[in-house]
Amino acid sequence: MKVVYPVQVLYAKHLRWHRAGRTLLIEGRALHPGTFTGIDGHTITYPPVLFKKPGSIEIIERRIKYQHENSDEAVVGFITGYDVKPDGLYIRGYVFDEDVAELVRNGEIDGLSIEAEVDVDDENVAKHVKILAVALVPSPAAPKAEVTRAKVVAVLSNGNSEISEEVRAMSVETKKKPTREEFFKWIKQQLKNAKVPDDVIDTVMDVLDKAIKTPYPYPYPYPAPKLEEVEKLKQENETLKKQVEELKSKLEQVQIEAEVNEIRSVEPEFKPETVISENMTFEAKMAALEAYKKALKTRVKLSVSQDDTELERKVESILREIGFEGENA
């Protein structure tokens, strides 16, 4: 026997909804034609025809993430719509994380970077793209992929009808980061305002131009040097090391010659090869010459007649001039 239990369904009416909090509506271009290196290190070309062929680009997961972190906490919002145009893939969505929303509003982070499954041909040219997520990043691989518009909104409810209204009567255009030229021009102006001399400013700007590198597009945290650049830097490093060694060798030779000349001022016929040899270290050579100087000092004093005090004074004077001073001088 089949028993059917009656089920009573109650529909709640006149619910009172409360504000869930502020959120940020964003719009921007997430991808455009070009050749870019992805987070996995693979370089893929996205040809213009890809953006003109219907169905070639589709969004199958609607997550908006902060950076490219693989965690639930990295999901800060969701995509609500997208449009593929000849100049790129445009998205629209909401960022619910207030901290990340503040970063976007302040222009501290305005790049968009896709996470996708990409079907490519033998030459790494994209044929079909399935978007899995779009991440908010500081410097995207695609240089023109960025948030173009953002405004603060809040979801409210009154009775049974949900509405979306602006919390602030404003539409915040994303602040653009200054270009390298603008940044350098600003620095130069600050130095001028501080009354730094023009020649000093020129030197400072030259140093900064060489020291400050333009950031490599995300996802690389640091510029990825090319193999030929690495080899060039290695060669330059080896050249500098050789130059340092040569300068060090010349300095050591000058010091040794100075020691020899001091000895010859007392013993003109002195031959350094009787004391030092080429296979000795610099420190050993200097120690040997110093020992010879002390021995020479003793010989000179012993050779002076006890009665010839004038000659002794002259010798003492010579020894003081060449540095032979001390208790026994």
Instruction: Give the residue from 75, 74, 88, 134 showing the smallest Cα distance to 110.
Output: 134
Instruction: Specify whether 302 is located in the same domain as 212.
Output: no
26 and 162 assigned to the same domain: yes
Q: Which residues does residue 92 pair with via DSSP β-bridges, in sequence order?
A: 27, 81
In angstroms, the CA 326 to CA 323 distance is 9
Instruction: Please indicate, yes or no, if residue 92 is contained in any of the structural domains.
Output: yes
- pLDDT given at position 31: 93
Q: What are the tokens at 106?
A: 């302040």
The list of the chain residues with pLDDT below 70 reads 1-22, 154-179, 210-227, 299-315, 318-329
Q: Which domain holds residue 154?
A: 22-166
286: tokens are 């200097």
Total tally of structural domains belonging to the chain:
3
Does residue 93 lie within any of the structural domains? yes
Residue 233 lies in a domain: no
Instruction: Give yes or no: residues 131 and 206 share one domain.
Output: no
pLDDT at 211: 63
The confidence score (pLDDT) of residue 170 equals 37
The predicted pLDDT at position 159 comes to 42
pLDDT in the model for residue 295: 80
pLDDT at res. 186: 81
**Looking at the domain assignment, is residue 2 inside a domain?**
no
Same-domain check for residues 56 and 190 = no
Q: Report CA Rg, the chain.
A: 39
Are 82 and 141 part of one and the same domain?
yes
Amino acid at 62: R
39 near 133, Cβ under 8 Å? no
Q: Which of 123, 125, 116, 124 is nearest to 53 (CA)?
A: 125
Tokens read off for 284 = 């050993």
Q: Is residue 188 part of a domain?
A: yes
- Same domain, yes or no: 141 and 196: no
Residue 276 CA, chain-centre distance (Å), reads 50
Tokens of 176: 């653009």
What's residue 68's pLDDT?
81
Where is the domain boundary, 224, 241, 262? 224
- How many other CB atoms sit within 10 Å of the CB of residue 254? 9
Choose among 171, 165, 170, 176: nearest CA to 106: 176
Q: What's the token pair of residue 86?
A: 């000849």
| Torsion 177-132-27-52 (CA) sign | positive
In a domain, 236, yes or no: no
Could you tell me the CA-to-CA distances from 81 to 28, 62, 95, 219, 274 in Å, in that order? 11, 9, 13, 25, 91
* Residue 41 within a domain: yes
Same domain, 182 and 292: no
- pLDDT at res. 325: 57
| Same domain, residue pair 121 and 197 | no
pLDDT given at position 88: 93
Cis? peptide before 140, omega within 30° of 0:
no
Same domain, 159 and 39: yes
pLDDT of residue 323: 63
Q: Cα–Cα distance between 133 and 149 in angstroms, integer?
A: 19
Q: Are 156 and 74 found together in one domain?
A: yes
17 is a domain residue: no
71 lies in the same domain as 102: yes
Report d(CA 5, CA 8) in Å as an integer: 10
Looking at residue 220, what is its pLDDT? 39
DSSP state of 218: T
The residue out of 131, 166, 201 marking a domain boundary is 166
Burial of 146 (0-12, 13-18, 19+ CB in 10 A): buried
Do residue 43 and residue 160 come from a single domain? yes
Closest to 88 (Cα-Cα) out of 113, 52, 64: 52
